[in-house]
Amino acid sequence: MNDQSSELVGYFGFGSLVNKDTLRTSYVDVVPARLKGWRRHWQARTETLPQKVALLSIHKEPACDILGLMVVDRLENLPLVDEREEGYSRVKLTPANLVLPDTFSPPQTLYVYVADEVPEVVDDGCLLQSYLDAVMQGFHREHGKEGVQHFVDTTTKFDRPLICDRDNPLYPRSVTLDDGEADLFDRTLKSAGVRF
């Protein structure tokens, strides 16, 4: 990988990008990772859906670290990732921002996608179950049950209504859940205050 490092980029996934099944490029590698000094939150978006929804973003918070996934991709694929992450801006990271496996050599260029501020939107969007399923399955696969709980514990503003669209997904990169995941995710979300 080192001889191609100038042609590679890395981006830290903290939401749906944690789930490899939602990735839409021929990425090179993925490794579980931790981002230092940031926290997740739900942010109302203006996407066209039957109801206004909230999607994940992050904000700086020095005392908080969040688990996620470092995706190594080809530089030529970055425009496709930007298109996937419409409404988010790429923010540069350094290796000092991240905790990565000792055996992993990250690309020189590292990013995280942060949602653009939408001042005219009141922060009251609903949560989308098919989106949460994709996000939480990623954490379950990469970080286990503890990762699912960590996701909830390090994300603010969970006290929202849920659009229960699991059987007819509105999220365009919806996933098929493994045995037991639906029950685990629903129990965890109810304990976090999500209104089913």
DSSP codes, 93-157: E-GGGEE--TT----SEEEEEEEPP-TTS-S-PBEEHHHHHHHHHHHHHHHHHHHHHHHHHTEE-
Contacts of 83 (CB under 8 A, 6+ apart): none
Question: Which residues is 112 bridged to in the sheet?
Answer: 12, 91
Kindly state whether residue 51 falls inside one of the protein's structural domains: yes
Kindly state whether residue 35 falls inside one of the protein's structural domains: yes
Q: Tell me: the pLDDT tens digits for 40-99? A: 999 987 665 667 899 999 999 999 999 999 999 999 999 999 999 999 999 999 999 999
- Provide the domain count of the chain: 1
* pTM of the full structure: 0.93
Q: How far is CA 65 from CA 23, 54, 70, 93, 167, in A?
A: 23, 22, 14, 14, 33
Radius of gyration of the chain (CA): 16
Contacts of 69 (CB under 8 A, 6+ apart): 12, 13, 17, 18, 20, 30, 31, 32, 33, 138, 142
Question: Which residues is 13 bridged to in the sheet?
Answer: 69
- The pLDDT value given to residue 125: 87
Residue 160 identity (one-letter amino acid): R
Quick one: CA torsion of 118, 46, 182, 36, rounded to 10 degrees?
A: -20
Q: Is 105 helix (H, G, I), strand (E, B) or coil?
A: coil
Kindly state whether residue 196 falls inside one of the protein's structural domains: no
Kindly state whether residue 34 falls inside one of the protein's structural domains: yes
Q: Which residue has the tokens 């904000």?
A: 59
Look up the domain containing 103 and give its range.
2-191
* CATH number of the domain residue 177 falls in: 3.10.490.10
Q: Which residue has the tokens 């230092």?
A: 36
- The pLDDT value given to residue 122: 59
Q: Tell me: the pLDDT tens digits for 96-119? A: 999 999 999 999 999 999 999 866
Residue pair 58/41 in contact by the 8 Å Cβ criterion: yes
